[in-house]
Amino acid sequence: MSDDFEDMGPVDYLVIEFPGNRMTGEGFPLLLDLVDRGIVRILDLMFVRKDTDGSVVALELRDLDADGEFDLTVFEGSSSGLLGQDDLDEAGASLEPGNSAGILIYENLWAAPLARALRRSGAQLVAGGRIPVQAILASLDAAEAAEAGGAAA
């Protein structure tokens, strides 16, 4: 493994669905802020659309900003080559017809020093994951209901 990879932080991906192909661009400045502050590094950013017939089409950044409302040129060239056609097809399979998605692969720069230290000590990541906010809220609601039910008894 090269030194570049040894120094990397954890790498994550997101597939973000935009119902009805409505992308406002509101999140782009926030993503840029994370990059500018050295919290994340964008490795890949691609967009796909799932047509009503179920076919999945890759979109160019210029296709997303036909009205000129937000500047996407800062994201051009955000391609490490990690995303392949299989990944685009898989992301598209998770979309509802008529929707589009952004596919983002990013390095967690904030965690790179910890990751380096752990690798030097021989540790390795053996599992990881994300807990959706909806699942956290449901769990908190269930705990609150159980607590209220126990107090009523």
How many structural domains is the chain composed of?
A: 1
Query: Does residue 80 lie in a domain region?
Result: yes
Query: Does residue 106 lie in a domain region?
Result: yes
In which domain, by residue range, is 75 found? 3-124
Residue 1: pLDDT above 50? no
Query: Does residue 152 lie in a domain region?
Result: no
| pTM > 0.95: yes or no | no
Q: How far apart are CA 82 and CA 110, in angstroms?
A: 21
Q: Quote the pLDDT of residue 15.
A: 92
Q: Measuring CA to CA, which residue among 125, 108, 139 is closest to residue 13?
A: 108
Query: Does residue 143 lie in a domain region?
Result: no
Q: How far apart are CA 26 and CA 125, in angstroms?
A: 33
Query: Where does the pLDDT of residue 62 fall: very low under 50, low under 70, confident under 90, or very high at 90 and above?
Result: low
Q: How far apart are CA 19 and CA 101, in angstroms?
A: 9
Range of weakest confidence among 53-67, 95-109, 114-128, 131-145: 53-67
Query: Does residue 137 lie in a domain region?
Result: no
Q: How far apart are CA 142 and CA 139, in angstroms?
A: 5
Find all residues with CB under 8 Å of 51, minimum gap 6, and list them. Answer: 57, 97, 98
Query: Does residue 134 lie in a domain region?
Result: no
Query: Does residue 17 lie in a domain region?
Result: yes
Query: Does residue 40 lie in a domain region?
Result: yes
